[in-house]
Structures are given as C-alpha cells and as structure tokens.
Structure 1
Amino acid sequence: MRFENGRESDNVEDRRGTGGGMNIGGRGKLGIGTIVLALVAWYFGVDPSVVLDTASVVQPPAAQNLPASPRPRAEDEVARFASMVLADTEDTWGAIFRGAGRQYQEPRLVLYTGATQSACGVGQAAMGPFYCPADSKLYLDLSFFDELRTRFGAPGDFAQAYVIAHEVGHHVQNLLGISAKVQQARQRVSEREANRLSVRLELQADCLAGVWANHADRSRKVLEAGDIEEGLAAASATGDDRLQKQARGYAVPDSFTHGSSAQRARWFREGLTQGTLRACDTFSTAAP
C-alpha cells in the first residue's frame, strides 16, 4: 500500500508494554470482565468459548504499573502503519457519511500487549482483534499480524489493513444501528438462526472493508499490485470452514458465526468492486 507519507490518526491509544496492557498470570477464577467480554464476543458472533477457554487471572493493579519495555523498531513501524490505515478509514467514512447527510463519529484504536481492559471487559490477544461497541474502540495486539502471516498464511500490509478495516466496519454498523437490530433479532430465534444472523453481520463488515478500499484507492491511489490478492487471502484464511477444519478436521456449517472462506472473500470483493453501502446488504440475499 502507498502509505509512506500518509497521515497518522490522532485516535490511537498505545498501551503496549505499559500498565495499560495487563500481564496474564496462571489460570484461575474468571473475572467479571472476562465474562462480560465473552458476552460481547457472542454479540458479534464470536464463539464465547474462545474467550473463556483462554481466560486467566489478571495481575493486581500494583503489578500492572511496570515501566515500558523496549520495542523492536519493526513493531513500531507496524503500529505506525495501523495508525495510517485508521486515518484513511476516518477520511473515507467521514466523506461517505457527509454525503448521506450524517456526521461520522471516529472510533479509537487501542494497541496493547497480551491483555487490556475495555468497556466490554478484559480483552486478550488470544481473541484476535475485536471491536467494543460500549466504548467505540478497536482493540488490537500487533502480534496478531504475525499470526495472520504464519498461522493463516495471509502475509502483506494490505492483509493487515483489511483486518483493521473489518473492525471499523463493525463500528459503522454500530453507528447505523445495524448491530443493535441484529442483536435484538438474535434473541428471538434459535441458536442456529442466531448464528446465521451473525454470519450476515460479519460478511457485511467484510463488505464494508471493501467499500473503504474502493474509496481510498479512487481518492488517494493507495493500492499497489498484489494488494487485492492479499486482502482476499486474509478474508479467505479466516473463514469458519477453514478454521474448523484446522482445529477438528471437519466443519459444521450450522455453527458458523463469521462465514465460510468463499463467503468472506466474495463479500469483501463485492464491497471493493461496487464501493457502495447498498452493495453490502447481506441481510436481503437468500444465501449470503
């Protein structure tokens, strides 16, 4: 991506290696924060067991106030890139909202190490990046990008940008009231149908990430050769079918909460190609 001289966002909280991030101790009782975050994970279609299975006791406040440890230069460069991506989403969604006669409320990006406190409870790196609607913040442990490259086989700067843009997509859904409507609908249906609604919500966030990329490239020519393939690879690598097959050897479609690899890639491409909110109506199609 052509972000060498891009603007950095003012909406970044850097808690890496400081008291803002929490040191995780041995396994023990589940704190109320972890339970709350598990519920928020369920809200957005993430299997709560991912949170509960990795939950650990957080060190007391006195142990959190540690001096910042030196960070590798490469990590700071990735943090700067994340800030520039966030800034570009601010410019893009600000313009889209103004065009619709609305004001875009910018989210904040929290960079942390290991675990950190959010308005939704304690967030942990094992969960991957997440968006908390209660404080309108995106939470990201930069080590996830290493995992994206090594575990998921999706390297590249645009793959990283896609991850951030997807979480910003959840913020857009929150601002538009879509998330609240989906949550209300989930409470009235079976678990199977609730999962299907979650899939549609996640696929829409993928599509909204594509909308951002479309507008950013048309306005600022940020895409380079291979970027689209990187984004599609990241979307495909995190499909429920692929992750379940890696974990258990088979996939259970009724338990999907984010969509299959093919679905995620398809909707990201749809947003990238069409560049409109209307193109991201994943709820009206017979089969997403």
Structure 2
Amino acid sequence: MVSPAPTAGPGFWSERPGFLQRLSVGVSFTLCVGLAAVGFTGFLAISEMLPSAEAAWSGSRPFGAQGQAPGPTTAEMPLTDTGTDLLRDNPLYEVGELGEVTCHAPELDPDDPESMEAFVHAIADCLDEAWSGYFAAAGMEFTSPNRVYWYAEGHSPCGPFPKRDTAAFYCQANQGLYLGVEDIVAASAGTDRPEAYTFLLSHEYGHHVQGQSRMLAEYRAERAGTDQETAEELTRRNELQANCLGGVFLGASGSSLDLGRDERENILDDVARRSDHGDERTHGRESNGRLWTEHGMDRKDPAACNTWKADEDLVR
C-alpha cells in the first residue's frame, strides 16, 4: 500500500497492488474543514476539537469538534468591506433551483475497493458539474475540490490521516476531498446501499460549496472569540446547512440515481442517527437534521438552506 499523502500536480497516480489510485488535484489554499465518519456512515459532518482541521467526524458518534486551522488566504477573506453578510445574504441564494442533474454512477460493490473508487469518482464528477454550473449562473468563481483517496496512513495540510474513527474529511487548506476508500465502507457497516455513500459525498461537498461561496470564512470569523454556547449554535447552523446542501444535490439528481421513497427514508434515518445525542450540542436534534436534509431534497434550492436566518428552534 502506498502513502496517500496529497500531491502537488494534476493527474497524479499512486500505485497500489491491483490497480492505480487517481488523485485529482486543484489549486487554491484556504481554511481547513475536516469531516470524519463513524458507525453506519450516511454522510460527513463538521467536527469541533481537532487541532489541525477545522472540521471532522470522529469519536463514537458521526460528528466531532471544531479546531483551528491556518488563516484564510486573501481569496478566502470575508468581504467585510462590502457590507455584505455572506452567511445570511450570500449571492448563492439568488439563483434559484439547482436544476435537474443527470448522474451516471456505476454498479457498486463495497467489497471491491476499485469499484468503490469508481463509484465515488462518478458521484464527485456529477457534483463538480452540478455546482460549477450553479456558481457560474451566480456569477461566482468556482474551483472543484481535489480528490485524495487513501488506503494507508498519510498527511494532509490539515494534519495526519486517518485519525481514530475517521473515514473521510474535507480539508479547505488545499480544497481537498479526502476519503479512505476502504474505511468509509467499514464505517458504514459494509452497506451496499449506494445512497449512503452518495449522501456522504454530497454532504461533504456541501462544505466545499460553503467554502467557495466564502461562507466558511465568514462563519469562522463570526465564531472566533464567542462563548461555548454561541459557538455550538453557529456550528449547528453550519452543519445543518451542509445537510441541506447535500439534500439539494440529491433532490436534483435523484431521478437519475434511482433515489425513490425507500432510499430517501434510508438517508433521513442515517441523518437522524448522526444528530446530537446525550450532551452533544453541535449538530442539531434528530428532527432538525431530518428537516433540513428533507427541505433541501424537496426545494432543490440553496436559498432554502439559509440556516443562518432560521429561528433558533430550527437549529437546536
């Protein structure tokens, strides 16, 4: 097995026994958001305490805690000089529905890493096409995330991987979509349901959408220096928005991906299981996790995902 550390040039392939692993890479450097998966993973979510990644899934539940990352680049700094509130009045909310998206995903065999990687690439291709077109319609710049798939330990700008119980994460420092091809299967109890992995990707990609629209930078700036209660509320708003943005993609692409009533319920059940339980207060109640995901699937419009203006009860 090869080291899956991120690489610096496009079209890089790292050799692995049995087949080649493609690492699609891009350019921009910004903040860092990691996502880690545990248990029966249906999607990725933001974390609260990693030392080198701004978000990740970890621990005995699907969500962990928020940490600090390198400061934002000029391109990612909040546009405070314009008077625009990029969380609550982002240009992304002004375009309307995402529009119908046609995806062509191959058959999935969770026991075959090559099959898993092909499936993940196909869904990521579809996400790239859908969101790049939407950003173009909004008159906003967009760069697709880098894809880094690991089979062994490695190191990203957001720190080493995998961490304990971490199957995937998004690192905004290099706009990297990091996935343990075999780990996400193990963390999802080996499920052969494609919708579990599709939403895992679409939720994680939702954080990339937040980053590209500069919402992540604005969120980080607003969260800095707040007390724990306020920080947790902002984290819930950020996380629930990613649920909703993932739902927007699924709603727009569901016909081509054969996401019927049963698949929809499977996704929402996974969302509920990964919501706050016990003393956790960072990702929302089960009812709110389901609500925002379903809202995105039904409306297919990022404007429906404006958790930053929602009443507090809807983001508890």
Task: Please give the TM-score of this superposition, normalised by the length of structure 1.
Answer: 0.69
> What amino acid maps onto 1:179 in structure 2?
L
Which of the numbers 133, 136, 147 marks the counterpart of 2:172?
Answer: 133
Distance 1:188 1:162, change over 3 A: same
Q: Does 1:38 align with 2:43?
A: no
Q: Does 1:183 align with 2:201?
A: no
Which of the numbers 51, 65, 74 marks the counterpart of 1:47?
Answer: 65
> What amino acid maps onto 2:247 in structure 1?
G
Distance 1:256 1:14 in 2: 41
Matches within 5 A, 1:100-179: 100-125=138-163, 126-142=165-181, 143-149=183-189, 156-179=193-216
Partner of 2:292: 267
> What is the alpha-carbon root mean square deviation over aligned residues?
2.9
Distance 2:158 2:204 in 1: 15
Q: Does 1:237 align with 2:278?
A: no
Distance 1:240 1:12 in 2: 39
Distance 2:295 2:306 in 1: 10
**CA displacement 1:229-281 (0-9 Å, x = unmatched):** 2221222222221xxxxxxxxx01xx422223322222111111001111000
Which of the numbers 116, 120, 131 marks the counterpart of 1:78?
Answer: 116
- Structure 1 unmatched runs, 5+: 1-10, 21-35, 50-71, 242-250
Distance 1:84 1:141, change over 3 A: same
In the TM superposition, residue 13 of structure 1 has moved relative to its aligned partner by 6.8
Structure with the larger RCO, 1 or 2 (CA within 8 Å, 6+ apart): 2
Distance 1:180 1:146, change over 3 A: same
**CA displacement 1:13-32 (0-9 Å, x = unmatched):** 776858x9xxxxxxxxxxxx
3-state SS of the aligned residue for 2:309? coil
Partner of 1:222: 257
Q: Does 1:95 align with 2:133?
A: yes
Query: Is the 2:56–2:66 contact (alpha carbons within 8 Å) kept by the matching residues of 1?
Result: no
- Structure 2 unmatched runs, 5+: 1-9, 22-48, 58-62, 68-109
Distance 1:92 1:75 in 2: 26
- Number of aligned residue pairs: give it: 224
Task: Please give the TM-score of this superposition, normalised by the length of structure 2.
Answer: 0.63
Query: Is the 2:199–2:267 contact (alpha carbons within 8 Å) kept by the matching residues of 1?
Result: yes
Distance 1:16 1:227 in 2: 35
Partner of 1:277: 302
> What amino acid maps onto 1:149 in structure 2?
A
